[in-house]
Structure 1
Amino acid sequence: MPQPFIFLAPGSTTAPLEWPLAERLLETAAICGGDPAPILELLATSDQSPPTPGDGLTTTLWEFLATLASVDLAAARTVEPHLDAAAILAQAGIDWVPRTSWGVFAAEGSTKLVADAPDADTGEWLLDGEKPWCSLAGALDYAVVTAHVPGGRRAFAVDLRRSGVTAHSGAWASHGLARIPSESVGFENVPALPVGARDWYLDRPGFAVGGVGVAACWFGGAVGIFRTLFAAAQSRKPDQLALAWLGESDRLLASGAAMLHAAAVAADQGTLGWRAAHRVRGQIAGICERISTLAGRALGPAPLGFDPSHARRVADLGIYIRQHHAARDDAALGQLLLQAPESTEGGIGPW
């Protein structure tokens, strides 16, 4: 393997992810240089449905995503929604489409995507409007897309190669994940297959699980930065500050790994909800930000200026963790605590 494997579970020595593409994806990530094209090509060669979390191997699956992200965050950013789409379809009882690449477009913005079923005889749904933040829409085959329907929102499986789908391009200015544009997509009378009932996408247990799977990718990016920091400390005698920064980074990663492992166990037990997911995502995002800061202090400007892999990893991780909404997600967690306090002994909350 191109990089040491990341193990979240204490005492693990092997990573038996039963997916033929896993090792090839790691090898391709090591040479893709932030380009998602070879990753997408590899995904589209598979006849086998991808592995999904919640079936007893969630730890192993998240270990793979973290390892992939430690090698190349753009590769992980390409693979993670492909796996998330597979999980969503499986939960809805919809068969996987072999030899295809997938995304998940569920963000909301100022524009609005509407789904309607104008023909009651055929029962066909059509999508109309704009959907923001659609990563790699111009390069994918299919996507799970959420749209507004009477009384709520609903998920749909959409063939992005059909006429009426317009993936906008040219506005993506980010230096992080520079080759994974997340721009809007226009839909005009585009047929769509319902995935679950109204509001099922947001209410399903797997929604929280998928959210933590993203955090596993963030965690892998932080590990990649740590490895650069560790190598620098090995290359010369570190002073007390360098040792302190290295030690703090290791401590942060250990706590993040423990949280991800506990969340994976809960996912396999069917007990991982959004309270736990918000805790994990918030902590992992904070760990990523802190390790990026520590690496900057310890390494100085040289790696950011002259090490393309390190500079790209820092930039990629910086925009990737913005999928966490910072204090707004903490506010959502606070609201969940007030709605359903975990204490059963008359206390003020879970603690």
Structure 2
Amino acid sequence: MEFNTFYNKIQTDETMMETIQHGNSEYPFQLYYDDLALFDFHCVEWHWHVEFEFVFVQEGTATFWVGEKQLSLGQGTGIFINSKILHRYFSEGHAIVPNFVLKPTFLASADSLIYKKYIAPIQACKVDCIVFCREIKWQAEALELMQKILKAQESDKDRELVTLFLTQELWHLLYLHMDSEVLQKKRENTASSQGRTQLMMQYIHQNFRQNLTLEDIAGQAMVSKSTALNLFRRYLHDTPVHYLVKYRLQEAAKLLATTEKKITVISGETGFENMDYFCKTFKKYYGRTPTEYRRKKQMDTDDREGIVQEVV
């Protein structure tokens, strides 16, 4: 199975909802065979989507931030991430993390008894994620099913049917081991605080070029500076100012890869008032100077174009 190279940068709207369509209306399921080393910062950045997500750590170690949790998962483990939960995952080095996303309606029609009885309760409950490890019998079974689903994608004969069957079996296993009391606890209690966090993130994304302060960021959600700090630490395991710097660097990286603007211009356009600080910080996060990063991206583009020409 070849690595996903066409989709290695998360695109979101102002609410942090991922904008790419996974699968299609006829078949709302999509597999991604990801190597985190191919992502900027070795990271699938903050986002959420209506789809359920299952991730299997095939090689290496990956750190997951899901809702309020931070989890380190090693080779052979996996995780389920619930619908509409803000999440992010990262690896310091090499990590192969095949993952698949599916709309709840992939499992059953929204107006069916199956959906209302077995799918909607998990989708709406306070469970943001479930980790699977081989030491627990039912979780080991879940991991085996995930691997069968990954394997099924290699067949053209009956891939869709087998995928649906195995995914329903995986969901059944998940449902059987959900505590009935947990299913009755709805997610509304955390919606407000997560919404405020998303408002502050949105403000950063729209105004990162300006000289923003913690007070400015907190004001957008009408909370105090201390509450803003607590919300970012709770959901993003970061501070607002540090998140702002990382977002500026990501935007600078896009300009370096897609334009011929001078580095001094890019530095200013992305909110860095000091050129030396920009270059030093960029190298800290990307492992390359801005010039080296631009050169590497250009080489990667030339290589891809060469491959396409050979195929044609």
Q: Which has the higher contact order (CA 8 A, sep 6+)?
A: 1
TM-score between the two structures when normalised by the length of structure 1: 0.26
